[in-house]
Structure 1
Amino acid sequence: MSKVEYCDFSAIAPAEFLPLLNSDKNREHLIAHEKFDASKAAAWMANKLEMNGYTGCRIRAIYKNKTLAGWCGIQFDDGKYELAIVLDSGFWGLGRTVFNDMMRWARELNHDEIYIHFLHTRPEYQFLKKMAKTVYQTELMGSCFTTYQLAVPD
């Protein structure tokens, strides 16, 4: 099994993200938004690159077997650090690996706690529920999410 690789957004052309960002199957589990063109993808990437520069944040593209599998990040939003993991449907089995890597990043970045939000279309994750300080429903941008508040282990 080849390992997962993480790449800075600055090394990727916006057009490379278009299949991931516009996949109907992926979009079922994301906040509703218009499909991306190259210009919108470039603006989205610029926003992620800016966020990557904030203290405590890290945004990366995910590659598996030299194929763009998705993106992930520790982002700052509404006064909290949150994990974001978006994988192309063909790579959904990588979620746990990416999550574990990101929890190591959270420790490296000295976070005590971190949040992860899953759109209501996603199942409840028992492994997250077991490790969560609390699990609750959240409304963000007009959509319902299950939010897991997680302590970052030492």
Structure 2
Amino acid sequence: MSTIEYLKLDDVDLTELMFTLNEDSLRSHLIDHPYFDEKSIRSWVEGKIDTDSMTGCKVRAVIIDGVLSGWCGIQPDECGFEVAIVISKKFWGSGVSIFRTLLLWAGQLGHKEVVFHLLDSRREYKSLAKKANRVRSSQLLGRRFNTYYFPVDSVG
């Protein structure tokens, strides 16, 4: 079993994070955006640090077996608060553990429900749908998503 750690984004190497977030296999499941460079990754991290300081939010770098693997967090969106997991393809099997941690954080932050948006490039997950209150198709930034609504206190 992998060891997963969560660090504040200002405690990680931004160049290493940039290379991870620029992986094509990871980007294929995200909204289209330009590849990060040294300047844009710094700006993006500053924005996520600002999000982390907001009430109800928590954003962290994900370290799996000592390797900076991506990021995760709870952040605001038009549905309330969303959980996000963005990790390198070689660590995709760790997503379930990260998801459980995010739901624990959501409970600690006082959330009753969070949403999880998966781009339509991903299949609908029956295991997620079983735990969700509801699943619906949504449009965000011109793309289609499967959006799962999770009660915080009953998922684990």
Tell me how many residue pairs correspond in the alignment: 154
| Cα offset, 1:79, TM superposition | 5.4
Q: Does 1:152 align with 2:136?
A: no
Identical aligned residues as a percent: 38
Deviations 1:58-79 (A, max 9, x none): 0000001210111000001225
| Cα offset, 1:124, TM superposition | 1.1
Structure 2 gaps, min length 5: none
Q: Does 1:95 align with 2:95?
A: yes
Partner of 1:81: 81
Contact persistence 2:79–2:115 (CA under 8 A): no
Please provide the CA RMSD for this pair.
1.1
Between the aligned partners of 1:46 and 1:146, the Cα distance in structure 2 is 28
**1:1-154 counterparts in 2 under 5 A?**
1-78=1-78, 80-153=80-153
Structure 2: which amino acid aligns with 1:57? Answer: C
Between the aligned partners of 1:140 and 1:12, the Cα distance in structure 2 is 29
Aligned residue for 1:20, secondary structure, equals helix
TM-score if structure 2 supplies the norm length? Answer: 0.95
Structure 1: which amino acid aligns with 2:4? Answer: V
Structure 1 gaps, min length 5: none
